[in-house]
């Protein structure tokens, strides 16, 4: 009996100790959680850095990917503890069609969509898509630097977006699994294009079937045979490995793939003036480096593709080029009628090099520009 009493008592004491222990442990957890929450809140309160979320759709090794990284490095070096740039490549956050609404809703602060994808918001930007009007990238630069070209950076202001800079990728070539030597060869082919009305008309004019599809799906739609061909700049083609699935690349160089670095106007205008001016200065400096990098990447990517087994790069002869021009110039002319006169005049002057000092690059004779569509 006594033993039983003692053992009951002992059990009771052990129980109380256990409950006490549990209570202390619970209190400890609660206190720990409160401390963590407090630290987080105070870190949030003290971390008043400006965050710039920069979203894009291509890989980090492409010109735009490298350009965005360079921009981040320079900004964080110049404004330590004040500005942080977060890069979201390869449609990680938003794909082509989502990026402008995301910018407007404040889900990101910066992006650099291709100029073609912005034409649904500002039709004057179609000037960059008109087929075969700019004979080379230098002519595009002359146009971008003109008053009208700079003016286009402000064309999205009415929807709350500020254009900050133009960045290059390169000129477009067309690929397929049959050689596209003349326009008739494209007849009946399903071709993946960016979301641009000019490109849609361009391929319709050739008797092909254009498919507007996001960049993220490019390789899948080619691999699955959903499309027969595509057009793009060399570095995008290489970065997606299009050369593993397409045999023929026609070096038509018919249009320019470039970007506009854009930001939410309210965000940009609300930045402290000193931060804004540093960002502007860095963008200007980065743009110059970026364009050189894009040029190097275009030739390195072209070389790599050319060396890929089974791949053929077709360079159109003079007569073939003339047949493409004849097929596509009517599209350029048709859309040109919808573009403001001052924009067209500046583009024409840039093509004809009127009023420009055109210097040859060191060690290279200045190439004579390829004849382009008159518009
Ligand atoms: C890009 O370079 O941003 C994508 C171009 C494309 O959609 O083909």
Ligand 1 in reach of 58 Cβ (< 6 A): yes
The packing angle between helices 63-78 and 273-306, to 10°, is: 150
25 inside domain:
no
Q: What value does the mean pLDDT of the chain take?
A: 89
90 Cβ contact list (under 8 Å, min separation 6)? 56, 57, 58, 59, 60, 216
4 inside domain:
no
Residue stretches of the chain with pLDDT short of 70: 1-46, 355-371
* Rounded Cα–Cα distance for residues 75 and 80 (Å): 8
11 inside domain:
no
| SS (HEC) of 218-265 | HHHHHHCCCCCEEEEEHHHHHHHCHHHCCCEEECCCCCEEEEEEEEEH
Q: Which pairing describes strands 248-250 and 312-314: parallel, antiparallel, or unpaired?
A: parallel
User: What's the CATH code of the domain at 82?
Assistant: 3.40.190.170
pLDDT tens-digit readout, 4-51: 444 444 455 555 555 555 555 564 555 554 544 444 444 444 578 999
The residue segments making up the domain with residue 93 are 47-351
Contact 333/373 with Cβ under 8 angstroms? yes
19 inside domain:
no
Return the best residue to mutate from 114, 256, 301 for the ligand 1 pocket (most ligand atoms within 8 A of CB). Answer: 114
**Overall pTM > 0.75:** yes
169 inside domain:
yes
Ligand 1 in reach of 239 Cβ (< 6 A): no
Q: How far is the CA of 118 from the centre of ligand 1 (A)?
A: 12
Q: How far is the CA of 316 from the centre of ligand 1 (A)?
A: 24
166 inside domain:
yes
Element (H, E) at 266: helix 265-269
- Ligand 1, atom 7: nearest CA belongs to which residue? 215
Contact 211/138 with Cβ under 8 angstroms? no
Return the best residue to mutate from 89, 203, 238, 257 for the ligand 1 pocket (most ligand atoms within 8 A of CB). Answer: 257
138 inside domain:
yes
Which residues on neighbouring strands pair with residue 229, listed in sequence order?
176, 191
In eight-state DSSP terms, residue 359 is: P
Domain count, the chain: 1
31 inside domain:
no
């Amino acid at each position: 009996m006594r033993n039983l009493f003692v053992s009951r008592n002992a059990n009771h004491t052990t129980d109380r100790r256990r409950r006490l222990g549990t209570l202390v442990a619970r209190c400890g957890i609660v206190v720990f959680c409160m401390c963590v929450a407090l630290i987080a809140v105070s870190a949030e309160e003290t971390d008043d850095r400006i965050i710039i979320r920069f979203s894009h759709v291509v890989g980090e090794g492409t010109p735009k990917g490298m350009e965005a990284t360079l921009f981040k490095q320079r900004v964080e070096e110049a404004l330590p503890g004040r500005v942080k740039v977060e890069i979201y490549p390869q449609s990680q956050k938003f794909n082509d069609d989502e990026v402008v609404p995301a910018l407007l809703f404040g889900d990101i602060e910066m992006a650099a969509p291709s100029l073609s994808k912005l034409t649904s918001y500002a039709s004057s930007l179609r000037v960059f898509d008109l087929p075969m009007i700019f004979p080379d990238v230098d002519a595009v630069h002359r146009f971008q630097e003109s008053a009208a070209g700079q003016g286009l950076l402000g064309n999205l202001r009415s929807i709350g977006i500020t254009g900050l800079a133009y960045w290059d990728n390169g000129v477009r070539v067309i690929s397929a699994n049959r050689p596209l030597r003349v326009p008739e060869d494209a007849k009946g082919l399903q071709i993946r294009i960016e979301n641009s009305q000019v490109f849609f008309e361009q391929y319709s004019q050739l008797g092909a079937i254009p498919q507007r599809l996001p960049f993220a799906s490019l390789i899948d739609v080619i691999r699955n045979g959903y499309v027969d061909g595509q057009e793009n700049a060399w570095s995008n083609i290489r970065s997606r490995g299009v050369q593993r699935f397409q045999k023929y690349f026609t070096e038509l160089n018919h249009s320019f793939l470039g970007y506009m670095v854009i930001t939410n106007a309210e965000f940009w205008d609300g930045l402290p003036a000193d931060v804004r001016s540093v960002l502007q200065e860095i963008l200007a400096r980065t743009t110059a480096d970026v364009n050189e990098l894009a040029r190097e990447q275009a030739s390195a990517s072209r070389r790599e593709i050319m060396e890929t087994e089974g791949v053929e790069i077709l360079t159109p002869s003079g007569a073939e080029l003339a047949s493409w021009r004849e097929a596509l110039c009517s599209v350029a002319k048709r859309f040109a009628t919808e573009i403001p006169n001052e924009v067209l005049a500046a583009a024409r002057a840039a093509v004809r090099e009127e009023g420009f000092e055109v210097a040859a690059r060191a060690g290279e004779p200045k190439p004579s520009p390829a004849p382009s569509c008159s518009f």
